[in-house]
Structure 1
Amino acid sequence: MSQTDELTNRTLTLKRTFSAPIELVWEAWTKPEHIAQWWGPKGMEINVVEHDFRVGGQWKYTMDMPDGNQFVTDGVYSVIVELEKIFSSANFKPMTEGVEIQALFERNGDKTNFTFNCIHATEEYCKQQEQMGFYNGWGSVFDRLETFVSAISQQ
């Protein structure tokens, strides 16, 4: 098996086209006040604890769960190319740890083509995460992002 095949077997990918210019979608990913509006499941309040948007910078967001527990997401930025891509390590405790997330942005006129990759340490872990609801979970988060950027672009 080639390295490319092996990486593909460890990666879950979602693609969307957002009805907003790339600059706005980029801001939604890079400004803490915007992240707090869409990151996470519908109905959950997101607290941006840390957001050091630079290569090597850390980020940490929390959500209070209905059962009183706290859901913590954190990571470290490894690649940032303005209006093009953001790569980061990521933990979504207590469900997912030790993954890399990649947000890829592409201008499409007044819209934005977006690709989200989540790379897991092993193929088995990747399959487990898919079965746990990766596509529905992240799909709903990106629905919120679409609603957020569409509303702002119409202002």
Structure 2
Amino acid sequence: MNPSAITVSATVDASLEKTWDYWTKPEHIVNWAFASDDWHCPKATNDATTGGKFSSTMAAKDGSMSFDFEGIYDEVIDHKKITYTIADGRKVEILFEGQNGKTLVTETFDPESMNPIEMQRGGWQAILDNFKKYTEGN
């Protein structure tokens, strides 16, 4: 990983199996892949295999803005690790670690150059927190 990589994490009160499923299945991704309540994820596709592609659309609910977050998986180790390259060339690593019925999810990503590091960390942490809330509530 890049020495300036950013790391965010959350402990999800759910089994490793459920956490993995909710992270990788499109029918769940559409329920959490956005940073705030005024955004949503109207569609997602995901082939969670090494070499597989993924895409999720993040959109403002008022229709003012949307973008596709997409890339290709470099490595997928079921229930343990995902690494991928975003369409803009940045690398991401996600680790899943079961801990007494809970799951620690740690994401490390290369920053982009347009926004401040703290803003990027905050945005990725907000999405991860949204994932945690959705997974624990369903």
Per the alignment, residue 81 of structure 2 pairs with 85
Structure 1, unmatched stretches of 5+, are 1-6, 92-96
| Distance of 1:128 and 1:45 partners within structure 2 | 21
Per the alignment, residue 31 of structure 1 pairs with 25
Cα 1:58–1:24 shift into 2, 3 Å: same
Q: Among residues 12, 18, 37, which one is paired with 1:18 in the alignment?
A: 12
The answer to whether structure 1 residue 99 and structure 2 residue 90 are counterparts is yes
The answer to whether structure 1 residue 64 and structure 2 residue 50 are counterparts is no
Cα 1:127–1:14 shift into 2, 3 Å: farther
| Distance of 2:18 and 2:53 partners within structure 1 | 22
- How well do the aligned residues superpose, as a CA RMSD in angstroms? 2.1
- Contact 1:11 1:126 (C-alpha < 8 Å) held by counterparts: no
Equivalent residue of 2:34, what SS? Answer: coil
Q: Among residues 36, 45, 50, which one is paired with 1:55 in the alignment?
A: 50
Name the one with the larger helix percent. 1
Identity within the alignment, % = 24
Structure 2, unmatched stretches of 5+, are none
- Contact 1:119 1:126 (C-alpha < 8 Å) held by counterparts: no
TM-score w.r.t. the length of structure 1 is: 0.78
Deviation at 1:71, TM superposition (A): 1.4
| Residue-pair matches, total | 136
Deviation at 1:127, TM superposition (A): 9.5
| Distance of 2:65 and 2:115 partners within structure 1 | 23
- Contact 2:19 2:135 (C-alpha < 8 Å) held by counterparts: yes
TM-score w.r.t. the length of structure 2 is: 0.86
Equivalent residue of 1:112, what SS? Answer: strand
| Distance of 1:128 and 1:69 partners within structure 2 | 17
Equivalent residue of 1:146, what SS? Answer: helix
* Pair member with larger Rg: 1
Equivalent residue of 1:88, what SS? Answer: strand
Deviation at 1:48, TM superposition (A): 2.8
